[in-house]
Structure 1
Amino acid sequence: MGETSEPDLISAAEFHRAPGVADWRVTATGPQSVFTASSLTEAAALIAPIVAAAEQFGVLPDVDVRPEGIVVRVPYRNPEGIPAAAPAFAAAVSQAAAELQLVADPSRPQSIGIYVAQHSQADARPFFTAALGYEPFGDTDAVDPLRCGPQLAFNPITGDIPARGRTHFDVFVPADQAKARVDAALAAGGRLVDDSYAPAWWSLASPDNHGVDIASWTDTYD
């Protein structure tokens, strides 16, 4: 992200220079730490301290609780940098985790991003934001509003020839939402490739022929 001059935002390097953040790593979606646990109950014990620290420092974290551990993230809500209060929040969470004997595993933090190759004359972002229910982020990216799915980046290829894109998604949605999602994607510039399996799934293509299947069968099978 680089250094930023905005007083309420800091860079990754500035985050790591702060005290008490050795458990944390900054990935493409922001600072995060993974604290291992042996049960869901053990992992969930950290939730109350996380909420208390979030309220104290004015940070809006994402928390993912699993039987194997708990993932705590400070997501980028501004593409220009990390909230300045993030290090203090992170240090407080790490201290609470240590008191609960939850051990951080700095090798575990990660984020998944998908780079969508698009023809140099095409703008596929409106199609993908509609098909996946995402929102634009910055000038070139798109994100899940709840930050559960991977962040997308759209990269034009200079001098290419329009053809089927090299990216494909299966988007599983509730059955009562599938047709509306299909309609939104088509209205955003997509085209219908195959609806012979509908309402189980529809195969769509973006303006640059990247494939997306909108699927509802997981919500209805027995």
Structure 2
Amino acid sequence: MDGSANEARITAAEFRSDAGTVAWRVTATGPQAVFRAEALAQAASLVEPVVEAADRLGILADIDVRPEGVVVYVPDRDFGGIPAAAIEFAAAVSTAAARLGLEPDPARIQSVGIYVAQHSATDARPFFAAALGYEDLGVGDAVDPLRRGPQLAFNPISGDVPRRGRTHFDVSVPADQARVRVDAALAAGGRLADDSHAPAWWSLASPDNHGVDIAAWSDDVGD
């Protein structure tokens, strides 16, 4: 798979409607699944089946192996939609995980981004890309070439004061986990800054007024 425009794509709803994707969720950066493990060797045992399925189906997958578990991603590399073959890939990975005794844990699925709010006359993306070693993604984002760090989004604020940076974190979680995450942040000393967009997202502030948006990423409706 080369991420070309000719590749068949599907929506998040189409991906999630298949029985083989029950352990998976789609967030802002694409489909992913988390499988719990008790040791690094157990988590690593899933790598070979993931590689086999990815090669067979032409999926450019990411694998994050930790002693506590393994995360498998189908990263969104061009905002073009999910590869149609991701359904079969997800089913194959889930089957292999079950065979290896790795239990899915959808509650741990998330993607974290940083939302750089900038004055309408400013283009901050070149600076951040250079400082972080990132690459441009689409018309307004930047991404770690190896997708290790959080994705950056750059959006202008009309009427804001020049030279004042206003940056916050975007935390994308499955829709059924969003309210849990919001409540936990509030209980930990956070403040609800804006819930006018709920249940799509909640804007929270830390005790010293740093911003975090918790986004309920609904992957069961059409795009």
TM-score (norm 1): 0.71
| 8 Å CA contact retained: 1:118, 1:157 | yes
- The alpha carbon displacement at 1:124 in A equals 0.8
Tell me which residue corresponds to 1:13.
13
User: Is 2:138 aligned against 1:138?
Assistant: yes
For the residue of structure 2 that corresponds to 1:76, the secondary structure is: coil
**Structure 1 unaligned blocks of 5 or more:** 169-222
- The alpha carbon displacement at 1:6 in A equals 6.6
Tell me which residue corresponds to 1:34.
34
Give aligned-pair identity as a percent.
Answer: 65
Higher-RCO chain (CA-CA 8 Å, sequence separation at least 6)? 2
| 8 Å CA contact retained: 1:21, 1:87 | yes
For the residue of structure 1 that corresponds to 2:19, the secondary structure is: coil
Tell me which residue corresponds to 2:163.
163
The correspondence of residues 143-222 of structure 1 with structure 2, limited to 5 A, is 143-167=143-167
Across the aligned residues of Structure 1 and Structure 2, the Cα RMSD in angstroms comes to 1.7
- The alpha carbon displacement at 1:18 in A equals 2.1
The AA in structure 2 aligned to 1:45 is S
For the residue of structure 2 that corresponds to 1:112, the secondary structure is: strand
Tell me which residue corresponds to 2:117.
117
| 8 Å CA contact retained: 2:117, 2:157 | yes
Tell me which residue corresponds to 2:69.
69
For the residue of structure 1 that corresponds to 2:122, the secondary structure is: coil
CA distance in 1 between partners of 2:55 and 2:164 (Å): 48
Range that drifts further, 158-167 or 5-14: 5-14
For the residue of structure 2 that corresponds to 1:59, the secondary structure is: coil
| 8 Å CA contact retained: 2:7, 2:83 | no
For the residue of structure 2 that corresponds to 1:20, the secondary structure is: helix
**Structure 2 unaligned blocks of 5 or more:** 169-223
More strand by share: 2
The correspondence of residues 92-111 of structure 1 with structure 2, limited to 5 A, is 92-111=92-111
Aligned length: 165
The AA in structure 2 aligned to 1:70 is V
Deviations 1:93-147 (A, max 9, x none): 0000011111000111110011001001111111111111111111111111000
| 8 Å CA contact retained: 2:117, 2:166 | yes
For the residue of structure 2 that corresponds to 1:80, the secondary structure is: coil
Tell me which residue corresponds to 2:206.
none
For the residue of structure 1 that corresponds to 2:34, the secondary structure is: strand
| 8 Å CA contact retained: 1:19, 1:87 | no
Deviations 1:7-41 (A, max 9, x none): 61111111111231000000111100000000001
| 8 Å CA contact retained: 1:9, 1:82 | yes
For the residue of structure 2 that corresponds to 1:93, the secondary structure is: helix
The AA in structure 2 aligned to 1:30 is G
CA distance in 2 between partners of 1:122 and 1:67 (Å): 43
User: Is 2:50 aligned against 1:50?
Assistant: yes
CA distance in 2 between partners of 1:51 and 1:127 (Å): 36
